[in-house]
Amino acid sequence: MPRIVVDPWLIPWMTHLPPFQMLPQLVWGSTATMCEFEMRPVNCPSFTAVQACRLLRRDVLLCAGLAMAPSTSPADTSAWGFLIEHAGSIADRNGRLRVVDAATDWDSRAKGLFAERMGLGLALWLLWRRFQVVHVADAAPFIATVLQDPTSPYHGSGLHLIGTNGAVRPDFFCLTGGSEVVVAESKGAIGPPSAVSSAEKQKAKQQTQNVQPIGVPLRVSENRLVFATTLRTASETARANKDTGVHVEDPEGADEPVPIRVSADAIVVNAYSKVLQLAGLGLVALSLQRGHHPLMPPQVPTLEFEGESLVLLGSAFGMHLTILTSVAKSLLNEPFEGVAARVSRALHESRLAMSSGERTPEAALVLPNGVVALATL
């Protein structure tokens, strides 16, 4: 029988099949309100006191979606469910980031999932905006390679340090602009800072300490970061340093961590696969991970923003999700080997990417990896 090949790039643009593109909600515009939360650092050399962080509600939602988008599941659109379900769940009190009072009536599982996902979103935002991270990749695929290798001492019953089936593991392996690795783990809860217990924080520390990426150096300091987010409800009265905030801690490394082989190229590919997945281009992400190229068709929809060309990945909720054209070409049209260096050059040549942390966010969310979210209206 003849084999039918479908160009995955045609699916979102020509047939408009991904479910998120058919939804009418203009979430991006309706959540463009500024709010503030506290970052409470512990053992972080870059920060010696509580920091007030300001961001738009929509940025939390998008960062949560990017964090939740699985890099290795091409048919998974579940990350968009969070944006749809909880666009109205974020509130504010006198400009403070809060959650709606109705959250107190949610069942414990719903509250836990919401807080975990909000925590992931705030962790990504802080990694990008405060801790000089450029690329955020899922740690699980890298760890799975070790666990599934029958020649590995950590295969099967030999897996002692990181729990049954690798349950005690970090969320992310991140890459800085200097090609150094940062290991990150996020926790979240609704309530005062004590809502994330000392035991949960200790577990999060173990999750970052139990692995040792090899192949790319760890950053000298702030290389293992634990983020514990606690969310207050809209009508609560909170004392200073007890409002919605993120406890960020840089724990010491473990004595006998599990060595996990990584490369800058693999982290970059995994990180952008999450972006492609969120845009409904999971098949492109899968092809990218398999080393296929070129993946961009000769003509793709593009936009121009502040004098720079952007490839349109998808549109939803009143938002265009785009990526710098120079980054897209470096990533998708050239071999796997050397992709990190090529993307790094493209980012350093982009005024948008290099000034991402200095911008006011109202017009667009510009991330240091060259991803840009724009309003459609």
Residues 193, 320, single domain; the answer is no
Number of domains making up the chain = 2
- pLDDT of 329 reads 96
Residues 224, 291, single domain; the answer is no
The whole domain housing 309 covers 263-375
Tokens 């998974």 belong to which residue?
76
**Domain boundary, last residue among 239, 261, 283:** 261
Tokens 């090899």 belong to which residue?
214
Residues 216, 116, single domain; the answer is yes
Residue 19 belongs to some domain of the structure: no
Residues 313, 285, single domain; the answer is yes
- pLDDT of 76 reads 62
What b/e string do you get for 43-58 counting C-beta neighbours within 10 Å, with b at 16 or more?
Answer: ebeebeeebebebbbb
From residue 49, alpha-carbon distances to 39, 45, 205, 206, 230 in Å are: 9, 10, 21, 24, 18
Show Cβ contacts of residue 162 under 8 Å, excluding neighbours closer than 6 positions: 143, 154, 168, 169, 210, 211, 258
- Write phi, then psi, for 313 (nearest 5 degrees): -85, -35
Residues 168, 195, single domain; the answer is yes
Residues 177, 193, single domain; the answer is yes
Residues 46, 178, single domain; the answer is yes
Helix H or strand E segment including 79? helix 79-86
- pLDDT of 78 reads 63
Residues 255, 273, single domain; the answer is no
Residue 41 belongs to some domain of the structure: yes
Nearest of 342, 346, 345 to residue 265 by alpha carbon = 342
Residues 182, 274, single domain; the answer is no
Residues 70, 201, single domain; the answer is yes
**Domain boundary, last residue among 261, 284, 317:** 261
Residue 10 belongs to some domain of the structure: no
The mean pLDDT values, 10 residues at a time, for the chain of 377 residues are 43 42 60 92 94 92 90 69 78 91 92 94 97 96 84 60 56 97 97 95 91 95 97 92 95 82 97 91 90 88 94 84 96 96 98 83 87 87
Residue 137 belongs to some domain of the structure: yes
Residue 249 belongs to some domain of the structure: yes
Residues 221, 364, single domain; the answer is no
From residue 45, alpha-carbon distances to 41, 147, 172, 225 in Å are: 9, 34, 21, 12
- pLDDT of 362 reads 72
